[in-house]
Structure 1
Amino acid sequence: MIELSSRQLPDLNAWLADGPPGAIALAEHALLTGTGHWWADRAHDPRAVVVACADHVLFRGDPTALAPLALARFAAHHAQAPARFLPLLGSAFDLLVPWERMVYLLREPQAVVRPPRGVTVRRLVAQDAEVLGALSAPGVDVSWVHASWGGPVELAASGHCWGAFRDGGLVAVACTYFRGTAYEDIACVTLPAHRRQRLALACVTALCRDITARGHLPSWTCSRDNRASRLLAWTAGFRLADEYVHYAVGQPVRPAVGLVG
C-alpha cells in the first residue's frame, strides 16, 4: 500500500458517492487541509483506496487488493467500510467492534439562542489557540475536538470554530470537524460543569450560520447510544438523514516491526 500525493488522487466522486455526508467531508477535508492521508494499493488505476484523518479511516474498493499487515498503521481507529471489507479487518486487528452511527442534516430554521449572563459566544481567532488548547476538565479528554485540524493552533486560526467564554475561559466549543465541498460535519463539546445551559446550542447555531453562508450544508454524525448528542442535534434543527455502522478496531494481529506498506 502506498501513500498518494494530491496529484495522484483518484476522482473522489467515483469512490465515495455512496458514503454518508460525514465520510465524504472527511475525505475532502483530508485533501483540503492536508491533515489527513490517502493510500492505495497502487498509484495508477487503484483497486482499493484508504483515507485517514484524526482517528477515522475510510476503506473503499476491492479488499483483496490490500494485505492485512498493511493496515497496522490504522490500529485504534474507527473504520468505515462496506461489509465486504469485514473479513480483511477481522484478520488485520485483534478487535472489531461495530458502532451504529446516525447522520443528521440541518433541515429546520434555527432560533436565536441567547447565552446566559456572563457568557460570551464568538468565533475563535488565531489568538485563541492557547485557550482552546487548555480546554479540559478532570477525567475528560477533549483534545479530539481539534484533532482533525492538526491541533488547537490550526483550528483556532481556521475560522471554523465558535466558543462560549466565561470568566476569560473557554467552556464550550462547536466546530467544523470535517469540511467538504458540499457538507461540513460538525462537532461540539461542553465542559461537564457548564452543561445544561444551552452553551453548546448557542455555539452550534452560530457555527451553522457560518456554514450555510459558505453555501454548505451542516451535517451531524454521532453514535446511536449518544442520546445527549442526538437531542442537541434535534434541538438545533437537524433531522435524521441516514444510518450506518463503523467499527472500532483494536491492535494489529501481528507485530508491525519491519513492515513495508
Structure 2
Amino acid sequence: MIELPLRELPSYLRWFPSGTAGPTSLAEHVLATRTGRLWADRADRPRTVAITCAGHVLLSGDPGALQPGALAPLANRYVLAPARFLPALGSAFDRVVPWERMVYVHAEAPARPRPPRGVTVRRVVEADATALAVLGADSAWIQASWGGPARLAGSGHAWGAFHRGRLLAVACTYFLGSRYEDIAVVTVPEHRREQLALSCVVALCAGVEARGRTTSWTCSRYNRPSRLLAWTAGFRLEREYVHYATGTPTTKGVSGSRKPAAPVGGVSGA
C-alpha cells in the first residue's frame, strides 16, 4: 500500500464507520487531530484503504484487489477489519492473533471520589507537557494518539492527578469521534489502588458530557482491572468485537515496521 496525504482523508471517510463508540472512531479522530496516516492500494480510485494511528488500524475495501506484500505497512499493529480481510491478513504476516475486546459506554455518573491528601485532580494544560513526558516508557502509549505529550497536554482532553507537580495518573480522550470520545487511563505503578484513575476518569467524563458527547471505554476481555474500573466509573457493556495483532510481513524482501507500544488500560487495555 502507498501513503496518501492526510488532506485527502475527507474523501475516504465514507469507507469507515462514523458516530460509533470505541476504536471505530479512529477515522474521525485522525481527521480532527491530524495525527495518523492514510494508506491505499493505489492513488487513483483505490479499492482498499487503511487509516493508522497509535498502532491501531481501520481497514476497509476489497481484499481481492491487494497485491502480495501490499499490507506490509500494517505490520505489528492492531487491525480492525471485516472478516473478508482475514485470508489476506493471514497470508501477509507470519502471525495474526485475534484479540477479544469489549466496548463500554458511560451510563451512570458515580460520586467523585476524594483524592488522597496533597493530591489535586485537574485538567491537564500545556504547561504539564513535561509531567506527561516523564511518566515513563511504559506509559508513553497514552500520548500516542495525539502525537506526543505536548499535543496531548494542549488538547484540553486530559485530566490528571498531581502531587507536588508530579503526575500520578492521567485519563484522556484517546480517539475523538463526532458522537463518542473513547478514553484511556494510566496510573504510575506505586500509586495504584488509591482511586486516582477513578478520580481522573470521573472528571474526564464530566468534560466529555459538557462537550455534548458520550464517553466510551475499550479494553481486552481479559483485562479484569480495566473492566472493573470501567464499571465503577459508570460504564456499561455495549458490544464485543475482535481485532487482530499482526506480526512480521511474510513477503520476501519486505521488512516489518516498528512494534507499537503495548497499551495497559482504558481504550486499549491489555
TM above 0.5, yes or no, is yes
- The correspondence of residues 106-255 of structure 1 with structure 2, limited to 5 A, is 106-136=106-136, 141-254=138-251, 255=253
Q: Which amino acid aligns with 2:93?
A: F
- 1:213 and 1:19, CA in 2 relative to 1: closer, same or farther beyond 3 A? closer
The offset of 1:118, in angstroms, is 1.3
Residue equivalent to 1:60? 60
- Whether the aligned pair in 1 keeps the contact of 2:104 and 2:237 (CA below 8 Å) is yes
Distance 1:235 1:68 in 2: 47
SS of residue in 2 equivalent to 1:87 = helix
- 1:68 and 1:101, CA in 2 relative to 1: closer, same or farther beyond 3 A? farther
Q: Which amino acid aligns with 2:211?
A: R
- Whether the aligned pair in 2 keeps the contact of 1:176 and 1:186 (CA below 8 Å) is yes
Q: Which amino acid aligns with 2:83?
A: A
Alignment deviations for residues 44-83 of structure 1 (CA, whole Å, 9 cap, x no partner): 5432211100100111121112224122122110111111
Distance 1:68 1:20 in 2: 32
- Whether the aligned pair in 2 keeps the contact of 1:201 and 1:232 (CA below 8 Å) is yes
Q: Which amino acid aligns with 1:10?
A: S
Cα RMSD for the two superposed structures: 1.8
Residue equivalent to 2:92? 92
Q: TM-score, normalised by structure 1?
A: 0.91
The offset of 1:167, in angstroms, is 3.0
Alignment deviations for residues 206-235 of structure 1 (CA, whole Å, 9 cap, x no partner): 111111111111110000010000000000
Distance 2:243 2:20 in 1: 11
Residue equivalent to 2:260? none
Residue equivalent to 2:105? 105
Is 107-116 or 25-34 further displaced after alignment? 107-116
- Whether the aligned pair in 2 keeps the contact of 1:20 and 1:242 (CA below 8 Å) is no
The offset of 1:236, in angstroms, is 0.5
The offset of 1:25, in angstroms, is 1.7
Distance 1:19 1:91 in 2: 32
- Whether the aligned pair in 1 keeps the contact of 2:115 and 2:196 (CA below 8 Å) is yes
Distance 1:99 1:160 in 2: 27
Q: TM-score, normalised by structure 2?
A: 0.88
Q: Which amino acid aligns with 2:239?
A: D
Percent sequence identity is 61
SS of residue in 1 equivalent to 2:178 = coil
SS of residue in 2 equivalent to 1:158 = coil
Distance 1:46 1:242 in 2: 31
User: Number of paired residues?
Assistant: 253
The offset of 1:15, in angstroms, is 2.3
Runs (4+) of structure 1 exceeding 4 A deviation are: none
The offset of 1:2, in angstroms, is 3.3
